Amino acid sequence: MPTDDGSPAGESGAPRLGRRPSTTQAELSHVALTLFAERGFDDTTVEDIAAAAGIGRRTFFRYFASKNDLPWGDFEAQLDGMRHHLDGLPDDLPLMDAVCAAVIEFNRIPPEEVPWHRQRMRLLLGVPALLAHSTLKFQAWRDVVAEYAGRRLGVPAGSLEPQALAWTMLGIALSAYEQWLVHEDADLTELLESALRMLGERFAS
């Protein structure tokens, strides 16, 4: 499963042994997203993608576990980034502030990548099959938040408080994303901050 291979293109020092991979996850992802934009997700078969990338259908499934994983790229790496960011926050920062900061930071995207990311998210949240599949990815995201919260609160990550907090954060982030997709000119960071602020005000009744 090259899906979890950290060195897909083979730049690392290791002299490389055996036949080299003929493509990369990123390459496949790119090819696929292009096809999706042209014909739509459902009308693009795995065979189409494999053909467009010049590999066999069977080989495709060695790079991605499923067609649904294509738009996600290397999500695990991003999660590691968030974990790292959370660990670097000072302990005297209130838990909520820390988590909010992490959510905002996690979703900060460089201006030049905005159109690209928009298209990706429009797919993920707009295509039912992808939206459904995304739940499994978001579960991993929630785990990151819950583990941090659990550590800070001195309770198991699986207990109610961390879990509820993680779910809430996911909800806030996704509703901000929905707004972002609808309003072409909106700024994601501002939407996130606004949504977080709203929640605080509404609950502090």
Partner DNA sequence: ATACTAATGGCACCCAGTGCCGAATGGAAG
Partner DNA sequence: CTTCCATTCGGCACTGGGTGCCATTAGTAT
Q: Is the Cβ of residue 22 or residue 34 nearer to DNA in the bound state? A: 22
Residue 2 interacts with, from a copy of itself, DNA, none (CB under 5-8 Å by kind):
DNA
Helix/strand/coil (H, E, C) string of 183-201?
A: CCCCCHHHHHHHHHHHHHH
Task: Name the one range near DNA by CB under 7 A: 63-71, 116-124, 161-169, 174-182.
Answer: 63-71
Task: Pick what 9 binds: a copy of itself, DNA, none; C-beta below 5 to 8 Å, kind-dependent.
Answer: none
Q: How far apart are CA 33 and CA 31, in angstroms?
A: 6
Query: 18 burial class (0-12, 13-18, 19+ CB within 10 angstroms)?
Result: exposed
Q: Which is nearer to DNA, 2 or 156 (CB)?
A: 2
CB of 46 to a copy of itself, least distance (A): 18
Distance CA 36, CA 145 (A): 32
Nearer to DNA, 39 or 197 (CB): 39
Which option in DNA, a copy of itself, none does residue 26 bind, with CB closer than 5 to 8 A by kind? none
Say whether residue 20 binds DNA (CB under 7 A): yes
- Comparing CA positions, the residue from 1, 146, 156 lying closest to residue 79 is 146
Q: How many residues belong to the chain? A: 205
Partner from a copy of itself, DNA, none contacting 172, C-beta within 5 to 8 A by type:
a copy of itself
The answer to whether 183 contacts DNA (rule: CB under 7 A) is no
Partner interacting with residue 114 (select from DNA, a copy of itself, none; CB below 5-8 Å by kind): none
Q: Which residues bind a copy of itself (CB under 8 A)?
A: 94-96, 128, 131-136, 139, 158-161, 163-168, 170-172, 174-176, 178-179, 182, 191, 194-195, 198-200, 202-205
- CB-based contacts of 98: which residues, under 8 Å, 6+ apart? 86, 89, 148, 152
| Alpha-carbon gap, residue 171 to 203, rounded angstroms | 15
Q: If we measure between CA atoms, which residue out of 164, 177, 181, 172 comes closest to residue 201?
A: 172
The Cα 55–Cα 63 span in angstroms is 11
The footprint of DNA (CB under 7 A) covers 2, 5, 15-23, 44-47, 54-59, 61-63, 65-68
